[in-house]
Structure 1
Amino acid sequence: MPPLLSIVVPVHGVEQFLPRCLDSILAGQRSEDFEVIAVDDRSPDGCGAILDDYAARDPRLRVLHLTENQGLGGARIAALPEARGSYLWCVDSDDWLPEGALDAVLTELRAERPGELDVLLTGFSHVYPDDSTEPNPWRHLLAGSPLERPEGATLREHPALLRTVLSVWNKIFYREYLDGLDVSFGRGFYEDISVTYPALLAARRLRYLDRDCYNYRRGRPGAITATASAKHADAFAQYEAIFAFLDRRPDLADLRGLVFDRTVRQALTIYDTPGLVPAELRRDFFHRIAAHFAAHRPPGYRYPGGVQGMQYRLAARDARLGYDELRRAGRLPRTLKASLRGSRG
């Protein structure tokens, strides 16, 4: 019989973290209700051998060895044809599951009738290099919300969901639903949001499990969130994919403003975070934020109030120096401030 859950684990350059990830899924777990598809994304270290050793000892783990590096998105795409489960969970190979997390997720999935739950979201913790932890900073937007009810909710019923983390790793998808969306993981950085946004927007039923089921490692050297790279501009290709999905789904037109606001906020956060966008590329990155505004600002869109609204207006105008001054000193030149106050929308 096909397993209930397929766990996809892309692997590249994480030799020191991989055993903990695999042990957190497989060790002491007797259930046959899940399988693990691990993808050796042409890892330059000993990850391939580690995967083969684990697979030789546990038939629930199958390994794909890619001949060319595909990145996180490409590795997940390569795994999908091999995944037989009714549900799909993407776990990053430098992260790990807390004790009892997999049992808790399987229990939730077993209680569901096939096809009635599109996405199960879980709680999680951030773990830092010094082993300190931070509980899910968005829990207050989820715990006690309609998403916790047995009947679940849609994103329309709880739009605050779009203010939470939109990465793929704390979301378990009903495979048939995901396949029907006609979306795909992207290439480069932020590869998962071209899947998570559409999946949350179109879901007929979402549920939240208020339990930490994932330990997300933050701040490690080489991680996207800690790496200066031109690839941070890959986010714009993912935004294009998200809005292309919305173009195909006129039934979701009323959610377009929420999506636009969230993508602008993320792009500005990337720009604002020290050490992410290289200095020589910051001008071009900000220009692309302005181009995103011009291309995807919905009719009737209203800017947020206060300082954030001023920041958005500056981004829309491609006024990078004014934006940087507002961020640095908390104020704008008087003439620019008056101009912004006089603008409409």
Structure 2
Amino acid sequence: MRVLLSIVVPVHGVERFLPRCLDSILDRQSSQDFEVIAVDDRSPDGCGAILDAYAARDPRLRVLHLAENQGLGGARIAALPHARGEYLWCVDSDDYLPEGALDAVLTELRAERVAAQPVDVLITGFTHVFPDDSTEPNPWRHLLAGSPLERPAGCTLREHPALVRSVLSVWNKVFRRDYLDSLDVAFGRGFYEDISVTYPALLAARRLRYLDRDCYHYRRGRPGAITATASPRHADAFAQYDAIFGFLDRHRDLDDLRTLVFDRTLRQALTVYDSPGLVPADLRGDFFGRIGAHFATHRPPGYRFPGGATGLRFRLAARGSRRAYDELRRTSRLPRTLRASLRRGPRAAAG
């Protein structure tokens, strides 16, 4: 029997946080309009037993136990054949939903059932939660609230391109399942596994909407989280970028959005490079070189660099001028000879 919403929860090594996550979804809920599919991704701790205990008490929760660890992307892929919902929401097992959030989302989705063109992606508000329990409201709300995304009719990404400057992770996006299946995209492996789905879903949607309500509490800075872990796997992002541009190659009607996507992926890659403690010191040179290769491979025809400091950073990355880039980040200044070189044209600068 089909339900309105399937909530997919990949689980690995989070027994400290898992009960709160599950309680935030299942407690105080009598609705039968949703189901939860939790995937025990061969968790090394007590997560599997916790999931089974919850499932024994609540038939809306079903548990899959994987024989081998698949990572976030693989766990979500494993869950999809079992999901019966008209809509799909991916919730991370160390995060949780604030009180009333699920009711609010279900109310929106029930209204969409009678729409002539049901929403393809419903984007929700969220709050960052830090290890000391301090919080930060959605720092990108100003890009969404009051925008065409809040109109009853919603809009497309082309009609509100500022959406691309907001967070592009999967956890604050509820996807119409038939639409998602039609895209022929898949979650990737390793880090940043979700952007190979979220970018295409936002790019191709005929109708996007934003629910200006705090519907998700996302933990930041948790030990072991991707955003707080030094790892060579941060370079996994480049495979996800390739998948995104592969999607664009198959959908030439979206060519006018290619530069928007290209600039956003460059910003993300440089942000990872710039963030202390993410890319290991002995791999930073290689990572910076991968940014240059990404630029050369996916640069849109007729591409023009942005102005100001962003354009300067992009130029240095495109040239592979790592030392100059690091100096610019450290001092906010460039040597005069390099400034002249950048003005003259595409000849590679030393660095």
TM-score, length of structure 2 as denominator length? 0.97
- Whether 1:237 aligns to 2:239 is yes
Q: Which amino acid aligns with 1:92?
A: D
The offset of 1:304, in angstroms, is: 1.3
* Aligned equivalent of 1:103: 103
Q: Which amino acid aligns with 1:210?
A: D
- Whether 1:16 aligns to 2:16 is yes
The offset of 1:182, in angstroms, is: 0.3
* Aligned equivalent of 2:55: 55
Aligned equivalents of 1:308, 1:206: Cα separation in 2: 28
The offset of 1:333, in angstroms, is: 1.3
The offset of 1:216, in angstroms, is: 0.2
* Aligned equivalent of 1:113: 113
Aligned equivalents of 2:310, 2:180: Cα separation in 1: 34
Q: Deviations over 1:66-103 (max 9, x none)?
A: 00000000000000000000000000000000000000
For structure 1, which runs of at least 5 residues remain unmatched after alignment?
A: none
- Whether 1:83 aligns to 2:47 is no
- Whether 1:46 aligns to 2:16 is no
Q: Which amino acid aligns with 1:265?
A: R
Secondary structure of the equivalent of 1:8? strand
Matches within 5 A, 1:1-345: 1-113=1-113, 116-343=118-345
Q: Deviations over 1:313-336 (max 9, x none)?
A: 000000000100100111111111
Aligned equivalents of 1:109, 1:116: Cα separation in 2: 9
Secondary structure of the equivalent of 1:102? helix
Percent of aligned pairs sharing the same letter: 82
Secondary structure of the equivalent of 1:78? helix
Q: Deviations over 1:107-140 (max 9, x none)?
A: 0000013652100000000000000000000000
Q: Superposition RMSD on alpha carbons, in Å?
A: 1.0
Q: Which amino acid aligns with 1:333?
A: P
Q: Deviations over 1:163-188 (max 9, x none)?
A: 00000000000000000000000000
Aligned equivalents of 2:309, 2:119: Cα separation in 1: 39
Aligned equivalents of 2:29, 2:126: Cα separation in 1: 20
The offset of 1:247, in angstroms, is: 0.3
Secondary structure of the equivalent of 2:62? strand
Aligned equivalents of 1:175, 1:308: Cα separation in 2: 37
For structure 2, which runs of at least 5 residues remain unmatched after alignment?
A: 347-351
Q: Deviations over 1:211-249 (max 9, x none)?
A: 000000000100000000000000000000000000000
Secondary structure of the equivalent of 1:88? strand
Aligned equivalents of 2:196, 2:79: Cα separation in 1: 17
Secondary structure of the equivalent of 2:63? strand
Count matched residues.
Answer: 345
Q: Which amino acid aligns with 1:116?
A: P
TM-score, length of structure 1 as denominator length? 0.99
The offset of 1:2, in angstroms, is: 1.4
Q: Deviations over 1:257-283 (max 9, x none)?
A: 000000000000000000000000000
Aligned equivalents of 1:338, 1:270: Cα separation in 2: 28
Secondary structure of the equivalent of 2:185? coil
Secondary structure of the equivalent of 1:39? strand
Secondary structure of the equivalent of 1:64? strand
Q: Which amino acid aligns with 1:172?
A: V
Q: Deviations over 1:275-299 (max 9, x none)?
A: 0000000000000000000001101
Aligned equivalents of 1:62, 1:246: Cα separation in 2: 35
Aligned equivalents of 2:51, 2:59: Cα separation in 1: 12
Aligned equivalents of 1:217, 1:310: Cα separation in 2: 33
Aligned equivalents of 1:343, 1:108: Cα separation in 2: 52
* Aligned equivalent of 2:349: none
The offset of 1:342, in angstroms, is: 2.2
Secondary structure of the equivalent of 2:85? coil
Secondary structure of the equivalent of 2:186? coil
